[in-house]
């Protein structure tokens, strides 16, 4: 029996990167995974590659109606949703001086508002079906000031604070819903390439050090697997750094 046997898991941004890797890992461990993404072609391809325990639903995370429909779809098909992984995000590498208001709003809308909508609608369903686990992908950028990532840093800071709020709310309401955040550093994905280019000299020095290594999507997927599983049943409102001591090293 797998570590997440028979769990129903929805993952946003699952056409590629961390969420796709996570969906593959969860399916191997017995979960039924629903891959959600705005890129329908890539998302359906990813679901086919994973196999019979995977399906796809189109989701624009900035559209509340899409969230409503996606979660309703999952619940209608499977009777419940056991876990939500909020992974979809965008990154634009600009400093505070170069970031336009439009750019700032766009990044916040996708990364912060998209995660908010996912959390809100997941809670509304999970509270009626026995609880569940919400995993929000934040970043080390939320915990330290990367100078070239103004809007991204602000958006991931919002995700981190929102995670605490959701966890506290569900505990107060006695819902059996957990909400935790994961904070990777420099994952080897297409989106992270822009982030690494924008990092300050001290950060780049750490990332380019052979001793540091590079965070791979599966490194983050393993942490998500743990937080989705019942092994983490008493962990709620926590922040998990997947950074090979990056934040500790820059002190």
Q: Which residues are catalytically annotated?
A: 152
Distance (Å, rounded) from C-alpha 21 to C-alpha 28? 11
| Per-residue CA distances from 31 to 7, 55, 93, 140, 217 (Å) | 5, 12, 36, 28, 19
Going by DSSP bridges, is the β-strand pair 177-184/239-242 parallel, antiparallel, or unpaired?
A: parallel
Distance (Å, rounded) from C-alpha 187 to C-alpha 217? 6
Residues near 93 by beta carbon (within 8 Å), at least 6 away in sequence: 148, 149, 152, 194, 195, 197, 198
């Amino acid at each position: 029996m797998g570590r997440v046997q028979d769990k129903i898991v929805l993952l946003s941004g699952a056409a590629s990167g961390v969420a796709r890797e996570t969906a593959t890992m969860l399916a191997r461990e017995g979960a039924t995974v629903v891959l959600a993404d705005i890129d329908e072609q890539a998302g359906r391809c990813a679901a086919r590659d994973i196999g019979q325990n995977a399906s796809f639903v189109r989701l624009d995370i900035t559209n509340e109606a899409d969230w409503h429909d996606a979660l309703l779809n999952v619940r209608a098909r499977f009777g419940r949703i056991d876990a939500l992984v909020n992974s979809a995000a965008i990154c634009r590498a600009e400093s505070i001086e170069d970031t336009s208001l439009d750019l700032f709003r766009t990044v916040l809308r996708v990364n912060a508002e998209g995660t908010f909508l996912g959390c809100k609608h997941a809670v509304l369903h999970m509270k009626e079906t026995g609880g569940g686990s919400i995993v929000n992908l934040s970043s080390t950028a939320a915990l330290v000031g990367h100078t070239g990532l103004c809007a991204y840093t602000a958006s991931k800071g919002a995700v981190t604070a929102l995670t605490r709020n959701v966890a506290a709310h569900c505990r107060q309401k006695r819902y059996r819903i957990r909400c935790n955040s994961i904070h990777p550093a420099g994952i080897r994905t297409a989106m992270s390439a822009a982030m690494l280019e924008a990092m300050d000299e001290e950060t780049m020095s750490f990332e380019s050090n052979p001793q540091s290594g590079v965070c791979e999507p599966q490194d983050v997927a393993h942490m998500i697997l743990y937080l989705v599983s019942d092994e983490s049943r008493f962990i709620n409102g926590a922040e998990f750094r997947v950074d090979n001591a990056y934040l500790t090293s820059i002190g």
